[in-house]
Chain A
Amino acid sequence: AQTVTQSQPEMSVQEAETVTLSCTYDTSESDYYLFWYKQPPSRQMILVIRQEAYKQQNATENRFSVNFQKAAKSFSLKISDSQLGDAAMYFCAYRGTSYGKLTFGQGTILTVHP
């Protein structure tokens, strides 16, 4: 079974600085998808960024980028120029090619200090 681990229960960053959230996963599949979701206090799950395992290039979305290390099974999220609105719980998630479930990590609470 696939597992996703986020080893940082909480992280903090100063506004305008850069922060990296860690995620590791375990799978025997070669083709899969990885996601980072943001959950603000409103509880809505918002997709931040996605990465297809077959793509070597790291995904980027404006201030958000990932460091995808397939061999190491690592998928970290870097937030540049952090803003107060980035404060939220962040979840790393894995989806295999069986079309089935999204397996989530435990989540990391990000605090942004002004």
Chain B
Amino acid sequence: EAQVTQNPRYLITVTGKKLTVTCSQNMNHEYMSWYRQDPGLGLRQIYYSMNVEVTDKGDVPEGYKVSRKEKRNFPLILESPSPNQTSLYFCASSPLGTGVTYEQYFGPGTRLTVT
């Protein structure tokens, strides 16, 4: 089954304790992205990647890191989480190139609470 997976689905942590949210897709998509969803703000892009070893900042990159060492994986790293990073996080992927619809496929979401 074609899908985007994220782990963990739920995470409660304390301020300053480094954490990683994993994201993996099995559709051989070049493009991957992380979003955070907050009430009244919709989804905002954190980071994105056009291909292996190619990443760039989105609208709200502060406090986050990413890496893309393999095409299928795109982990999100919070080196020193703070309460304002409490949010719902989504990973997404899509193909690139001519003839594609640029639809993004989303993972199930990760609910992060930082106390």
**Contact residues in A for B108 (Cβ distance below 8 Å):** 42-44
**Contact residues in A for B113 (Cβ distance below 8 Å):** none
B96 touches A101 (CB 8 A): no
* Residues in A3-35 with C-beta less than 8 Å from chain B: 4, 6, 9, 33, 35
**Contact residues in A for B42 (Cβ distance below 8 Å):** 4, 6, 91, 104-107
Cβ of A45 under 8 Å from chain B: yes
Cβ of B52 under 8 Å from chain A: no
* Residues in B37-66 with C-beta less than 8 Å from chain A: 40-45, 48, 50, 56, 58-59
B45 touches A99 (CB 8 A): no
In the complex the two chains form, what is the Cα distance from A10 to B37 in whole Å?
A: 17
Write the nearest CB–CB distance from B54 to chain A, whole angstroms.
11
A102 touches B92 (CB 8 A): yes
Cβ of B74 under 8 Å from chain A: no
A106 touches B40 (CB 8 A): yes
Interface residue stretch chosen among B14-22, B75-83, B97-105: B97-105
The 7 closest A-B pairs by CB, nearest first: A104-B42, A45-B106, A101-B45, A104-B43, A43-B109, A106-B42, A33-B102
A/B interface sample: 30 pairs, CB < 8 A: A4-B42, A33-B101, A35-B103, A43-B108, A43-B109, A43-B111, A44-B109, A45-B90, A45-B92, A45-B109, A50-B103, A52-B101, A91-B43, A95-B102, A99-B50, A99-B96, A100-B45, A100-B56, A101-B33, A101-B45, A101-B58, A101-B59, A102-B35, A102-B45, A102-B92, A104-B35, A104-B42, A105-B42, A106-B41, A106-B42
